[in-house]
Amino acid sequence: MKVLLTGTSGFIGRETLRQLLLTTIVRQVLVLSRRPLSDIKALDKRIEVFVLDNFNEYPDELNRKLADVDAVIWCVPRYLSRILNSLANVNDRALGGSATNPTPAGKCQEVEMEYPVNAAREVLKAKEASREVNEKVRFLFISGILSIKDQKKRLWFLEEGRRARGLAEIKLFEVAERNRESFETVIIKVGLVLGRESHIMGYLLGWTGLAIKVDEVAAGMVREVVGRTGNGSETVSNGEVRRRGGEWLRKGPE
């Protein structure tokens, strides 16, 4: 199995990579990044890193590698999570910035919507060109509990990021609808993602059901990719991700 992964400079993406590498089924992980990741590349010979200046333009070498990709896990930290994680004392850096360095105003739609949708299209295009359409590609997209699909709804906070994520969900489901025989979209609607070492505020939020541990998020996604136990294109709630992730952690890697 070959997996395309983003966000490995953030703690969600890094944990997802760690758990992918625990499985013997995964033979290669293509990592997309804005900057060199020598520390990650040295972890395992199955990792190949592509550094891109523009995530809307893929080089030919990368496109050739996409032809036999089985799954995409889009782990760019959510606009909302970067605010909430600052309360939980979590620093998550990846494509979209961090709690202390968030996505600049006016860039949310590009980073949060255009990049993942372009990735979906590029994977499908590469497969069609090489005629490598065997099993369906599963595209897992981490969204947030406050993302909004209604682009006209009046919002009182974090408007740009919430709308961009909601629009990304719409567009990715449209890709799946147009390519039913070759593509599935799975939206992961998590809340506050807690690390193993979190501020007391994080633990308090955990009691509300809005929080989830980073290893549970990663395990839930790896389960959907490696175990192929999902239900086709779907939206998975924070509680369901936690349940599925917990099951996978108890079972252990395959």
> For position 60, which CATH number holds?
3.40.50.720
Residue 124 and residue 128: Cα distance in Å, rounded? 6
Residue 23 has pLDDT above 80, yes or no: yes
Is residue 52 within 8 Å of 33, Cβ to Cβ?
Answer: yes
Position of tokens 């990579």?
17
Position of tokens 């760690």?
18
Cα–Cα nearest to 70, from 1, 121, 11 = 1
Domain that holds residue 52: 2-251
What's the pLDDT tens digit per position in 114-134?
Answer: 999 999 999 999 998 887 666
What is the pLDDT at residue 87? Answer: 45
Give the count of domains, the chain.
1
What's the pLDDT tens digit per position in 193-230?
Answer: 887 566 555 555 556 677 888 999 999 999 999 876 66
What's the pLDDT tens digit per position in 77-119?
Answer: 554 445 444 444 444 444 444 343 456 556 777 888 899 999 9
What is the pLDDT at residue 192? Answer: 80
Question: Alpha carbon 164 to chain centroid distance?
Answer: 15
3-state DSSP assignment of residue 125 = helix
What is the pLDDT at residue 96? Answer: 43
Residue 186 has pLDDT above 90, yes or no: yes
Query: In sequence order, what are the residues at sequence separation of 6 or more whose Cβ sits closer than 8 angstroms to the Cβ of residue 145?
Result: 80, 189, 190, 191, 210, 238
